[in-house]
Chains A and B, each alone.
Chain A
Amino acid sequence: SQQGEEDPQALSIQEGENATMNCSYKTSINNLQWYRQNSGRGLVHLILIRSNEREKHSGRLRVTLDTSKKSSSLLITASRAADTASYFCATYSGGYQKVTFGTGTKLQVIP
Chain B
Amino acid sequence: EAGVAQSPRYKIIEKRQSVAFWCNPISGHATLYWYQQILGQGPKLLIQFQNNGVVDDSQLPKDRFSAERLKGVDSTLKIQPAKLEDSAVYLCASSLWGQGANGNTIYFGEGSWLTVV
A residues with a Cβ closer than 8 A to B are: 1-2, 4, 6, 30-31, 33, 35, 41-45, 48, 50-51, 88, 90, 92, 95-104
Closest-CB distance, B36 to chain A (whole angstroms): 11
Residue contact A96 to B99, C-beta cutoff 8 Å: yes
B residues with a Cβ closer than 8 A to A are: 4, 31, 33, 35, 41-45, 48, 50, 55-56, 59, 91, 93, 95, 98-101, 103-111
Which of B33, B42, B93 counts the most A-chain CB atoms under 10 A from its CB? Answer: B42
A98's nearest neighbour on chain B, judged by CB, is B56
Complex: how many Å from CA A104 to CA B44? 12
From A43, A45, A50, A103, B101 is in contact (CB under 8 Å) with A50
Beyond contacts A88-B42, A99-B33: 9 other A-B pairs, Cβ-Cβ < 8 A, are A2-B42, A33-B103, A33-B106, A41-B110, A41-B111, A45-B107, A50-B103, A97-B103, A101-B45
Pair count A-B, CB < 8 A:
75
Complex: how many Å from CA A44 to CA B107? 7
From B99, B103, B109, A95 is in contact (CB under 8 Å) with B99
Inter-chain contacts of B106 with A (CB < 8 A): 33, 35, 43, 45, 90, 99
* Given A31-B101, A50-B103, also A103-B41 (CB < 8 A): yes
Closest-CB distance, B60 to chain A (whole angstroms): 13
From A33, A45, A97, B98 is in contact (CB under 8 Å) with A97
Query: What 8 A-B pairs are tightest by C-beta distance, nearest first?
Result: A42-B108, A101-B42, A31-B103, A97-B98, A30-B101, A96-B55, A45-B105, A43-B108
Complex: how many Å from CA A69 to CA B59? 27
